């Protein structure tokens, strides 16, 4: 009996240690290259055919492509994939050199001399390739923003172990005429979310090199965007960065590379290195500090899910407390992930701290939509939309104005906040 009593505590400690280690592991991949079914997800039509080819199922790929050719969803892509499946000698070799269409990459050096005391930016996420909705880039271009912030799910890959799939998704978007027109005149900054980093609601875990696909996905992401820097570079990969437009400070985070399971005791979304950077970066004096997240910070905007900051409430409150302790004024939040555009007023529960306003938008081109949330100040999901943000630093009391604009260019809802409303008591 004494021996049994001694073994029980050891067993409990071992189980707890193993449990902690389990929660620190990356999520299981849920690769999504299935062919479109009832929801008519045309964004997955060509990726499904490509995956069949990569798996050596060329006859099946040819039959599938011939069957869907009547849908007329980018016949050029159909032909390219048929050429690959048929073994045509000069077909695409899964690289930029042999891609048959011109690509336009983002260029954040554009508009460096544009006005910075009164300007407009656009933001959003949820931009799976849907040819019918690619006109969204023209709609955004029509307001000629000072910058466009893409906050995740910018392309829908859902296949982190297959570089050819990742390249295909980036290349086809960069080849679209509407995208090219916009990218040639507007600086575009980007962070990733689950669908362009891992798979649905997934996380990478705290290790830098595990799983092995993480660094490779990061490298491909880095090759296809033009951010000022990428996390901590080669030693600490990530997509977090910051930049300025005048006295407005934009701070964008990486919510996937180092994310732990939300089922852990004190799970982290950011990891210690990024948290250290974030705190240092948030302290830089600015008229407005725009904190940009791949997933919403406002509570209960994805009911029943821990994929948003609801799954990381301790770390969320740590960030809020830091803003409160340091008395950082002028913080506003932009986020994506939910397939709608809405706004929230967050009470952090911190004495003397002003409410945090969060503007969310993530249905740039996606077909699927998510329902509205009662706790929002307003919401919109009837059509694809983006967030327009106007900054006026020339006013005696500088203003931030968020407007939901749909794919037809119609302004739907708006919210204006004065800098004086974002001060500590």
38-96 pLDDT tens trace: 566 888 899 999 999 999 999 999 999 999 888 888 999 999 999 999 999 999 999 99
* Residue 1 predicted with pLDDT over 60: no
Neighbours of 16 (CB within 10 A): 11
- Residue 403: burial class (beta carbons within 10 Å; 0-12, 13-18, 19+): buried
pLDDT tens digits along 84-110:
999 999 999 999 999 999 999 999 999
Kindly give the pairing relationship between strand 331-335 and strand 288-293: parallel
The closest alpha carbon to 73, from 172, 163, 7, belongs to 172
Mean pLDDT of the chain: 94
Spell out the residues 6+ positions from residue 359 whose beta carbon is closer than 8 angstroms to its own. 123, 332, 333, 334, 335, 342, 343, 387, 389, 402, 415
Ordered by start, the domain boundaries in the chain are 42-85, 118-422
| Residue 369 phi, psi dihedral angles, 5° rounding | -130, 160
Kindly state the percentage of the chain with pLDDT values over 70.
94
pLDDT tens digits along 261-272:
999 999 999 999
Contact by Cβ (8 Å): 166, 220: yes
The closest alpha carbon to 129, from 41, 53, 192, 218, belongs to 41
What's the average model confidence in pLDDT over 367-377?
96
Span 118-422 CATH architecture: 4-Layer Sandwich (3.60)
pLDDT of residue 39: 60
Q: How far is residue 229's CA from residue 147's CA, in Å, rounded to a whole number?
A: 16
What's the average model confidence in pLDDT over 159-172?
98
């Amino acid at each position: 009996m004494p021996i049994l009593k001694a073994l029980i505590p050891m067993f409990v400690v071992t189980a707890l240690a193993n449990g902690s280690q389990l929660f620190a592991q990356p999520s299981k991949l849920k690769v999504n290259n299935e062919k479109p079914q009832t929801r008519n997800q045309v964004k997955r039509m060509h990726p499904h055919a490509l995956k069949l080819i990569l798996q050596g199922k060329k006859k099946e790929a040819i039959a599938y492509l011939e069957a869907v050719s009547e849908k007329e969803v980018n016949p050029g892509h159909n032909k390219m994939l048929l050429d690959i499946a048929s073994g045509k000698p000069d077909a695409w070799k899964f690289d930029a050199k042999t891609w048959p269409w011109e690509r336009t990459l983002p260029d954040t050096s554009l508009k460096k001399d544009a006005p910075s005391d009164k300007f407009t930016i656009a933001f959003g996420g949820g931009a799976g390739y849907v040819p019918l909705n690619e006109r969204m880039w023209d709609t955004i271009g029509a307001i000629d923003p000072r910058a466009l912030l893409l906050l995740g799910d910018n392309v829908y890959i859902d296949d982190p172990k297959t570089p050819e799939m990742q390249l295909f998704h980036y290349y086809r978007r960069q080849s679209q005429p509407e995208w090219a027109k916009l990218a040639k005149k507007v600086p575009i900054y980007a962070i990733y979310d689950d669908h362009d980093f891992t798979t649905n609601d997934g996380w990478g875990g705290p290790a830098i090199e595990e799983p092995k696909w993480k660094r490779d996905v990061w490298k491909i992401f880095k090759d296809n965007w033009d951010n000022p820097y990428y996390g901590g570079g080669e030693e600490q990969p990530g997509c977090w960065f910051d930049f300025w437009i005048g006295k407005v400070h934009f701070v964008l985070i990486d919510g996937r590379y180092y994310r732990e399971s939300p089922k852990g005791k004190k799970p982290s979304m950011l990891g210690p290195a990024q948290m250290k950077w974030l705190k240092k970066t948030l302290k830089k004096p600015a008229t407005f500090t725009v904190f940009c997240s791949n997933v919403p910070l406002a509570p209960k905007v994805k009911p029943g899910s821990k994929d948003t900051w609801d799954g990381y409430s301790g770390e969320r409150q740590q960030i809020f407390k830091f803003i409160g302790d340091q008395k950082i004024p002028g913080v506003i939040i932009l986020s994506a992930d939910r397939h709608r555009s809405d706004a929230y007023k967050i009470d952090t529960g911190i004495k003397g701290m002003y409410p945090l306003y969060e503007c969310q938008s993530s249905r740039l081109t996606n077909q699927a939509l998510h329902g509205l949330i009662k706790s929002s100040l307003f919401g919109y999901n009837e059509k694809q939309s983006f967030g327009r943000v106007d900054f006026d630093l020339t006013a005696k009391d500088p203003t931030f104005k968020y407007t939901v604009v749909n794919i037809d260019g119609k302004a739907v809802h708006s919210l204006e906040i004065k800098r004086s409303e974002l001060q500590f008591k």
